[in-house]
Amino acid sequence: MLSTLSITNYALIDSLVVGFDKGFTVITGETGAGKSILLGGLSLVLGKRADLSSLRVKNEKCIIEGLFKIDTYGLQQFFEENDLDYDINTVIRREILPSGKSRAFINDTPVTLDVLSRLGENLIDIHSQHQTIQLTENDFQLKLVDALAENQKRLAVYVKGLKTYRKAQKELEGLIEVQTTANKEQDYNSFLLTELEKAPLKEGIVEALEEEYEQLNNVELIMEQLSKGDQLFNDEQIGVLPLVTEMRQSLSKLVEFGSNYKELYQRVQSVLIELDDVNSELQRLQEGVEVNPDALKEVNGKLQLLYNLLKKHNVNEVSELISIKNELSNKLFETAHLDEKIALKTRELQDMESILEEQSVVLREKRNTVIPELQSKLKSDLTQLGMPNASFEISLSPTDTFTITGMDELLFLFTANRGGSYGELKKVASGGELSRIMLVIKAILAKYEKLPTIMFDEIDTGVSGEISNRMADIMKDMSADLQVFSITHLPQVASKGNHHFKVFKTEGAERTMTNMKKLTNDERVVELAHMLDGKDLSDSALAHAKQLLNPSLKV
């Protein structure tokens, strides 16, 4: 329910704050007074795109704010899905900046126009003559049939299953696409994997091979230097070991003369032990060094293979080649098992299709049950609205396609004349006829569904007398279950409202402004009298106005 509407700096509105109640609210005013401005501002709150020309004062921002009571609308999930704070008294604010940019907020949280528009669809249904095109759409017509058939829960289960089915369809398409691509690349990937598997891939292998290559490639130099080292260690005249051994023997004769001599002796002994160990390692290395051109060739081959693979795969480390090998292995494994996955997903889809088809049949049976009742109800209600010969031919045809409404195509044919040919609504019904049909349909829907606030914008255009009375009665009856607004030029409709607002212009010294006020009972009498008799207030017009407001009065 719309509780409050606040508009600042919009078109001819300087500042306007108005509160609304539940029930039937009528809005009147002379042509050009600004009723369309009010609707325009409300449309911005509901997600319509902004226009810089809407600013009254161009260098100030426009702010339009609506307070909605939403506790009965079941919108908690919408707020959760869009990460919004849920409040039963929800505030929607729209700002249009002088720069031309606009911003939208739901409970002070910035939102996109798409989110705002989707929420707005659940809050207010603004019905104008050009929007009767919705009446000619198959989905809307099916919504009416489903309301009478009480198919809402069944349809919700079907739609949930359909979403899962479509998701599975996309997954299957993705698997088939992957398989097609994988099949094209399989031979090449297999070749690459084999090539990598033959290479000695392990951490640090390049550095180890490079070291081994340098040793094999410089074996003669190594042998020469190791031999020279052995000679320097063991030569009888100048060898390191004989000299240090001799030094140790000399110092051994001094150890008894003091701790300082003993310490020196021990240090030389330690040096000798270390030198002896170095000599043993040197001899071991010398024995292991040999000229081996075959080993050199093998090491060089491994290095060149690794160098080529690094260059081929455009990487710098063997660890990266290992990762590539693992990825190729996984990809080939997945390719080998794609047929199995595709077969499994196909069977899953077939099971889902069977369930959806069964649910569609149930929906169709329930729809066919209520179609005669709907045809009768529409004919009866339209007769009261001055269309006594209006009738409908409504039928269902099964389709092979899953749609959001099931597997039915609804044929909704109409004729306004007795004996006339039936045709599609959009082709055979006039604008005035569509408006009356829409009113009747909205009234039927209101009894079966929790509809949002409805605002009828001059739906009574082109009718008068008893028909306008009946249209007003229908809207008033609807307001027992939901908040209903009617913008009208007819006193018969205006008199039926629980609340009556007037839109009017005031002329200032420099500018014209649009305002809106709630009328008292006396003010309503005057307003209705003006609507009946123009600017001049005659006694008969006032009396007639009083009788409209209180039919029990005698004139």
Angle in degrees, 0-180, between the axes of helices 293-312 and 205-217, rounded to the nearest 10: 140
Q: Are 63 and 524 in contact (CB under 8 A)?
A: no
pLDDT at residue 496, rounded to an integer: 93
Length of the chain: 555
Bridge partners (DSSP) listed for residue 311: none
What's the rounded Cα separation, in Å, for the pair 107 and 85?
7
What's the rounded Cα separation, in Å, for the pair 398 and 453?
34
Domain boundaries, the chain: 1-123+452-519, 182-335
pLDDT at residue 131, rounded to an integer: 58
DSSP letter at 510?
S
Q: Are 359 and 157 in contact (CB under 8 A)?
A: yes
Bridge partners (DSSP) listed for residue 555: none
Indicate the helix (H) or strand (E) that contains 457.
strand 453-457
Of 14, 37, 17, 64, nearest to 511 by C-alpha is 14
What's the rounded Cα separation, in Å, for the pair 8 and 485?
22
pLDDT at residue 280, rounded to an integer: 87
Its pTM stands at 0.67
What's the rounded Cα separation, in Å, for the pair 239 and 232?
5
Residue range 1-123+452-519 in CATH 3.30.530.20: no
pLDDT at residue 132, rounded to an integer: 59
Distance set, CA 500 to CA 16, 25, 99 (Å):
16, 6, 37
What's the rounded Cα separation, in Å, for the pair 100 and 61?
9
Of all residues in the chain, what percent carry a pLDDT higher than 70? 97
Mean pLDDT calculated for residue range 489-498? 93
Average pLDDT of the chain is: 87
Q: Could you report the per-residue pLDDT of 278-322, keeping only the tens digit for each? A: 888 888 887 777 777 888 888 888 888 888 888 888 888 888 888
pLDDT at residue 129, rounded to an integer: 58
Instruction: Give the torsion sign (CA, 321, 322, 323, 326).
Output: positive
Reduced to 3 states (helix: H, G, I; strand: E, B; else coil), residue 159 is helix
pLDDT at residue 283, rounded to an integer: 83
Q: Could you report the per-residue pLDDT of 91-147, keeping only the tens digit for each? A: 999 998 888 888 999 999 999 999 999 999 889 988 875 555 667 778 888 988 999
